[in-house]
Amino acid sequence: MEQLLKLFTPVKDLFVDNWMMLIMWLIGGTLIFLAIKYEMEPTLLLPIGFGTIIMNFPIVEGHVSEALGTLYNAGIANELFPLILFIGIGAMIDFGPLLSNPKLMIFGAAAQFGIFFTLCTASLFFPMKDAASIAIIGAADGPTSIMVAQTLESGYIGAITVAAYSYMALVPIIQPPIIKLLTTKKERLIRMTYKPAQVSKLTKVLFPITITLIACIFAPAASSLLGFLMFGNLIRECGVLESLSETAQKVLANLITIFLGITIAYNMTASQFLNPATLLILGLGLVAFVIDTAGGVLFAKLYNLFAKEKVNPMIGAAGISAFPMSGRIVHKMALKEDPQNFLLMHSIGVNVSGQIASVIAGSLILGFFAG
């Protein structure tokens, strides 16, 4: 009997003495479940979930952390993975709807209000650099969140990344109630005519180059992120690099996503994740998304007070950088109210402008608090 008990002692030591490990397994398993069952951002949540499980296994911890540490140094500590991923994202984006109606950009800018509102709120509870890193969850953009948190040397990069990607996946649940709360039925029924102005190839080629130059002059901290995003877009739009464009959109983006997901788990250890700060970060991340949505919608309503040609205020909510989900949600909501109201081109235009504006907001945050 004693020998039998001795046999189970290491197992008891493993589970009883490392109960926090079990909680992290549960968290990792939950992320995997959400990714597979509900298809919530599976490209990131599944690798993060799996990485969380293996990073929190004491017997193999050293081996795993060494491997992930190497990847972490190679791609996240030097911000390389987010930048390369942005090449792929840039190659996926079609700026045509935005270029045919450039004034939509201001709604993308307005929807970044949640970042700065969350900065004010988080600054009450966290040191400034951590507060800024948490606020950037509101950018609704994984690479930007990772890059800002890493540059500011936040100790909560794991929680911030999980929050950012989780809420991006929850945009279909978070946004509609806020949009309905802030708009009237009459406002939701406003039709926006789409005049498909012919956007020339030259315009589509000059646009990424121009934005990069503007970013280098006015927001140097954004030059790397915006530069890589626009490089990817230029590969797509130049028309002579079809194979590179396809590679960037598919192979490159998928490859980096695999490494990014599992490497983020390097920070998903029990000691880092299981503390009251994580809950607060998840709460503040939700605040950021809510205020982003509200900011965009309210700005669109303000715009309507002065504009001759009214806009449907719902498109303001599409300024959140969750591309293309946010744009599609607004379009679907409009169709639900009026089956003849097609807002897709407008909402997607605002959505892509939100992508640019979120990077600019991130760069300003870095400009204020880095160094």
CB of 99 to another protein, least distance (A): 6
Q: Which is nearer to another protein, 276 or 339 (CB)?
A: 276
Q: Which is nearer to another protein, 69 or 196 (CB)?
A: 69
Binding-site ranges for another protein (CB under 8 A): 55, 65, 69, 72-73, 77, 98-99, 102-103, 105-106, 108-110, 112-113, 115-117, 119-120, 122-131, 154-157, 197, 199-200, 202-203, 206-207, 210-211, 214-215, 218-219, 266-267, 269, 271-272, 275-277, 280, 353, 356-357, 360-361, 364-365, 368-369
CB of 327 to another protein, least distance (A): 17
Q: Check residue 39 and give left, alpha or beta (phi > 0: left; psi -120 to 50: alpha).
A: left
CB of 247 to another protein, least distance (A): 28
CB of 68 to another protein, least distance (A): 9
Q: Tell me the CB-side half-sphere exposure of residue 297, using CA atoms within 13 A.
A: 22
Q: Which is nearer to another protein, 98 or 348 (CB)?
A: 98
Q: Which is nearer to another protein, 91 or 356 (CB)?
A: 356
CB of 330 to another protein, least distance (A): 19
Q: Which is nearer to another protein, 169 or 291 (CB)?
A: 291
